[in-house]
Amino acid sequence: MSARRHPSEERLLAFEAGTLSAPEAVVVATHLALQPQTRAWTHLARAVGGAVLEEQEPSPLKAGALESILARLDDAEPRPDLVVTRPRNTDTSLPAPLRGFELGPWRWAGPGVHVRNVLGPRDGDCRVILLRIASGQSAPRHTHNGVELTCVIEGAYATQDGVFEPGDFEEADPSVLHQPRVVSDTPCLCVAALDGQIVLPGRLGKILAPFVRL
Amino acid sequence: MAPIRHDGTSLSVAKQNLPVGLVAIHPPGRLRRIRVMHATRPAPVQRGAAVLVSQPPRDFSALIALVAQAKDRAAFAEIFGYYGPRIKALLIKSGSAPAMAEELAQEAMLTVWRKAASYDPARASVSAWIYTIARNLRSDALRRGSSALYAFDSTFGAEAPAQPDAIVSGAQDDACVRAAMRSLNPDQAQAIEMAFYQEQTHSQISQALGVPLGTVKARIRFGMMKLRAFIERETGGRA
């Protein structure tokens, strides 16, 4: 059986329920932006959220709440720009969810591998990075503490589970050591939620390890 | 001989569970009816009540259109009266302090007023739309930076290619979604519902229910698949 290329149903439900950690949610949102057919699940999850809201036993608002809201309506005229979130970076090649965050500088992380941080979403040690890996190269070695989600933005990589192409989502199993290799002619750009540290290769890596957190 | 209840146990046993006041003040005939109600399994009674509570009394989609087109305050007050207290209840159940839940519920209703023109009934039910407004406000309040995350989908995929399946048109139909929820087995429905109480991550649900995490995930997964199959079947049949 080929591995799945989209987030599990329970992860998509958690995304819509707002209970995913921020780094995980960023990778899921990137996948949804690139793979609209997965939105069938998020549409469903949202509809279920609406049904759950309907089923609530009403908890009355404070006396006078309606009056105070009505008094505020006049200075709350609809503003068309409210829906628009201003992009925080100028990389127009990135999917929409990633444009809402500032980006750190590209850093070298081994032969053919560059990494930059997506600033903001963080949950303990788990954070979001962009990885750019040259054709024919492998992803950098890294320690792996828990959740690790990846979504391909450009190019393609292959693991023992097959080829992952733009929009494909992978949830790495911590018990399996997998070495993704870039199989596209162009570099492969991925977004990943990473819990753990990237280990720089060779002696230089050992020397730098205490100082560099990738 | 003590009368036999529906479930086969004798009434004298049930008597011990009755509030003393009821036994004292009601005549035997009335008392018996109360006992029969108590003897009835609680689930169907609650379910009947929940259905009554959950039926939206008005066509909220039309009310939102009135707000969008005519700035109709009476229509807004009606939406407020129905959804405001439900948003507050959901937020409290999700772990918000009552004062915070009150503030966010009011803020959500203000957002409904501001964004009424962006509501598209072809994309989502009113309850799903209002649910996402409340969810986003809450996530922002918790500084999860989620407005950027969910903004790309604020149009509910309007910019995306048409969905190949019936799920989108089915999911905008509240009655269909609730019927689908009732088709789940209780374990699946409970796991899915708990996933929406926002502080309930899947591992917290696992602890609360005393079942393994994998079981919780499987219940959610198969429940979601069942919901989707149900809605697609319903919508496909109607089309």
Query: Which CATH number characterizes residue A65's domain?
Result: 2.60.120.10
| Same-domain pairing of B120 and B186 | no
Chain B hits for A48, Cβ within 8 Å: 177, 181, 192, 196, 227
Above pLDDT 70, what percent of chain B? 62
**Which residues are registered as beta bridge partners of A154?**
A189
What is the extent of the structural domain holding A99? Answer: 1-85+95-214
pLDDT of residue B143 exceeding 70, the answer is no
Residue pairs spanning A and B at CB distance below 8 A? 235
| Same-domain pairing of B133 and B166 | no
Lowest mean pLDDT among A137-151, B64-78, B144-158: B144-158
Contact B128 A49 (CB under 8 A): yes
How many other C-beta atoms can be found within 10 angstroms of the C-beta atom of residue B29?
7
Cα separation values, B200 from A17, A184, B94, B150, Å: 10, 40, 7, 20
| Same-domain pairing of B113 and B135 | yes
| Same-domain pairing of B99 and B127 | yes
Dihedral angle sign, alpha carbons of residues B186, B188, B189, B195? positive
Q: Is residue B30 in some structural domain?
A: no
Domain boundary among B152, B169, B200: B152
Residue among B87, B196, B222, B230 with most chain A CBs within 10 A, to mutate: B196
| Same-domain pairing of B224 and B200 | yes
Q: Is residue B45 in some structural domain?
A: no
Chain B hits for A25, Cβ within 8 Å: 144, 146, 149
For A178, which DSSP code? -
Q: Report the residue from A9, A25, A46 with minimal CB separation from B128.
A: A46
Q: Are the C-beta atoms of residues A179 and A139 closer than 8 Å to each other?
A: yes
| Same-domain pairing of B92 and B131 | yes
Q: What is the pLDDT of residue B34?
A: 33
Q: Provide the pLDDT confidence category of residue A146 given band limits of 50, 70 and 90.
A: low
Chain A hits for B167, Cβ within 8 Å: 40, 43-44
Q: Is residue B35 in some structural domain?
A: no
Contact A54 B152 (CB under 8 A): no
Query: Which CATH number characterizes residue B166's domain?
Result: 1.10.10.10
Whose structure tokens read 């599990």? A8
Lowest mean pLDDT among A3-17, A186-200, B149-163, B215-229: B149-163
Contact A78 B132 (CB under 8 A): no
Q: Is residue B197 in some structural domain?
A: yes
Mean pLDDT of all residues belonging to chain B = 73
| Same-domain pairing of B80 and B145 | yes
Q: Is residue A37 in some structural domain?
A: yes
Return the higher-pLDDT residue of A17 and B222: B222
pLDDT tens digits along B96-129: 899 999 999 999 999 999 999 989 888 788 999 9
Above pLDDT 90, what percent of chain B? 36
Q: Is residue B76 in some structural domain?
A: yes
Return the higher-pLDDT residue of B125 and B5: B125
Q: What is the mean pLDDT of residues B35-40?
A: 33
Q: Is residue B96 in some structural domain?
A: yes
Q: What residue type is B42 in one-letter code?
A: P
Mean pLDDT is highest, among A151-155, B15-19, B172-176, B191-195, for: A151-155
Q: Is residue A35 in some structural domain?
A: yes
Q: Work out how many domains chain B is built from and give that number.
A: 2
Q: What is the pLDDT of residue B6?
A: 44
Q: Work out how many domains chain A is built from and give that number.
A: 1
What is the extent of the structural domain holding B211? Answer: 161-239
